[in-house]
Amino acid sequence: MMQLYKIKNTTQLDFYSPSIETATEMPLYSSMISAGFPSPADDYLELSLDLNQYLIKHPSATFYVRVKGDSMVNAGIYDGDLLIVDKSLEPKNDSIVVCVINGEFTVKKLKRSGEKLYLIPRNPRYNPTQISEEMDFQVWGVVTYTIHEPN
């Protein structure tokens, strides 16, 4: 089931539930790949990896969110990215969270300063939002992984 919630001047989110009924095992090579100078390649296949098992620690509390917008680009979250969000994790200071404010969803960095709570965009074009008692505010989950296509 997919729902789209529009957020004024911020990031929009599409929600998806993970399907963990089927395993999709992919080959995992035993040698590491160099991001610096090239190294000799090994053609040795050691084991396989199921990305569901690797990326989803709490299946019944996990959902996917597709991002629309640019408010989190400096956190490495871009328009079109897929976020893996775990509702069972306790949000901490500086966590990237999916939350709802007055009925509208967004993804932001959670920041506590003394007794005040803020949602911080990671793009200087947007301003932080201070959470007040008058707001209907709830954290839906903590972002555990971001999946995006390379440039």
Condensed to tens digits (0 to 9), the pLDDT of residues 32-46 reads 555 666 555 555 555
Which has the higher per-residue pLDDT, 8 or 37?
Answer: 37
Condensed to tens digits (0 to 9), the pLDDT of residues 48-99 reads 667 788 888 888 889 888 999 999 999 999 999 999 999 999 999 999 999 9
* Cβ–Cβ under 8 Å, residues 72 and 93: no
Q: Which residues are catalytic?
A: 71, 108
Kindly report the three-state secondary structure assignment for every residue of the chain.
CCCEECCCCCCEEEEECCCCCCCCEEEEECCCCCCCCCCCCCCCEEEEEEHHHHHCCCHHHEEEEEEECCCCHHHCCCCCCEEEEECCCCCCCCCEEEEEECCEEEEEEEEEECCEEEEECCCCCCCCEEECCCCCEEEEEEEEEEECCCC
pLDDT at 46: 59
Q: What is the pTM of this model?
A: 0.73
Which has the higher per-residue pLDDT, 4 or 21?
Answer: 21
Work out the mean pLDDT of the chain and round it to a whole number.
80
Condensed to tens digits (0 to 9), the pLDDT of residues 90-133 reads 999 999 999 999 988 999 999 999 999 999 999 999 999 999 99
Angstrom distance (rounded) from CA 5 to CA 148: 21
